[in-house]
C-alpha cells in the first residue's frame, strides 16, 4: 500500500453552501417562533378583552335585575331605557365600549310585560380596531 498526500479539495469543515443552508433554516425557525409568539400574544389580548366585556355585561344585568318595580326599567328617560346606552358602563374598560339594554317583548306605548325579557349588548373596538359584540339575556318578573 502506497502513501498518498491528501488532496487539497478534501478539507475538513463546512463549505459556504452548507453554511448558507444552515443559516437559512435557522432564520426560518426563528421567524416562525416569533410569528407564533406574536399570534399567541394577540389571542391573549382578544381573550382578555372578551372577558372584560362579559364581566361588564353581567354587571349591567345584575344592576338591571335589582331594579324595582319592573315597570321603571324600560321606560324612556330612565337609567335603563330601552335601546339607550347605560351611562354607568359606557367606556368603562374597553375602547369605545357601549352597553345597551333592550327589551324584546316590550312595546314602548304598552304595559310592561311580566316576565320582562332583558338583553344586554356590549359593543367595543378591540386592540386592532375591529368592532366586537357580545350579548347576554335574562328574564325579570315582578
CB 74 within 8 A of CB 106: yes
According to the 3-state scheme, what is the secondary structure of the chain?
CCCCCCCCCCCCCCCHHHHHHHHHHHHHHHHHHHHHHHHHHHHHHHHHHHHHHHHHHHHHHHHHHHCCCHHHCCCCCCCCCCCCECCCCCCCCCCCCEEEEECCCCCCCCCCCCCEEEEEEEEEECCCCCEEEEEEEEEECC
Measured between alpha carbons, how far is 141 from 68 in angstroms, rounded to an integer?
A: 10
pLDDT, position 11: 64
81: which residues sit within 8 A by CB, 6+ positions away? 74, 75, 101
Measured between alpha carbons, how far is 99 from 79 in angstroms, rounded to an integer?
A: 12
For the chain, list residues with pLDDT below 70. Answer: 1-11
pLDDT, position 1: 62
Q: pTM of the prediction?
A: 0.75
How do residues 68-97 score in pLDDT, each as one tens digit? 888 888 888 888 988 999 999 988 899 899
Amino acid at each position: 500500500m502506497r502513501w498518498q498526500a491528501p488532496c487539497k479539495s478534501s478539507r475538513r469543515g463546512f463549505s459556504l453552501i452548507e453554511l448558507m443552508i444552515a443559516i437559512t433554516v435557522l432564520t426560518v425557525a426563528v421567524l416562525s417562533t416569533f410569528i407564533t409568539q406574536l399570534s399567541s400574544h394577540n389571542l391573549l389580548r382578544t381573550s382578555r378583552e372578551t372577558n372584560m366585556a362579559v364581566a361588564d355585561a353581567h354587571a349591567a344585568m345584575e344592576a338591571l335585575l335589582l331594579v324595582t318595580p319592573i315597570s321603571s326599567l324600560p321606560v324612556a328617560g330612565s337609567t335603563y331605557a330601552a335601546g339607550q346606552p347605560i351611562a354607568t358602563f359606557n367606556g368603562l374598560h374597553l375602547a369605545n365600549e357601549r352597553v345597551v339594554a333592550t327589551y324584546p317583548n316590550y312595546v314602548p306605548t304598552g304595559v310592561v310585560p311580566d316576565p320582562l325579557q332583558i338583553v344586554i349588548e356590549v359593543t367595543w373596538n378591540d386592540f386592532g380596531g375591529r368592532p366586537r359584540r357580545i350579548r347576554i339575556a335574562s328574564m325579570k318578573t315582578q
